[in-house]
Amino acid sequence: DTGVSQNPRHKITKRGQNVTFRCDPISEHNRLYWYRQTLGQGPEFLTYFQNEAQLEKSRLLSDRFSAERPKGSFSTLEIQRTEQGDSAMYLCASSQFSSYNEQFFGPGTRLTVL
């Protein structure tokens, strides 16, 4: 399968714990995006990378959130000291710089904070 993959698919954690999600983009794609989607809403932009550089972060991304993309390949999104309000689907998407409009989404990681 050459699409965008995300792991884990589901994560249940207790409030206050740290969680980390992984995204593996399509191999030749140099742009990688993270979105958050809550029930009944469209995806909301969190941050994006071009290669290994994090070029933009949304104001939605509090200091408890951090994302990395070492070597411009896979990316991780970490949430520290999780809160119940962090419960959502976290989506990753990737695109090629030459056709940056067309983003391909992964299946998402559903986070439930108890």
Cβ distance 106 to 1 under 8 Å?
no
Stretch that binds another protein, among 14-22, 38-46, 59-67, 70-78 (CB under 8 A): 38-46
> Would you say 82 or 94 has its CB closer to another protein?
94
Q: Which of 19, 21, 33, 94 binds another protein (CB under 8 A)?
A: 33
Return the closest-CA partner of residue 44 out of 32, 29, 31, 61. 61
**Near another protein by CB under 8 A: residue from 42, 59, 63, 98:** 42
Q: Which of residues 55-94 bind another protein (CB under 8 A)?
A: 55-56, 58, 91, 93
Cα 44 from Cα 57, distance rounded (Å):
12
CA distances from 14 to 32, 80, 114 (A): 28, 11, 5
Interaction site with another protein (CB under 8 A): 4, 33, 40-45, 48, 55-56, 58, 91, 93, 100-108
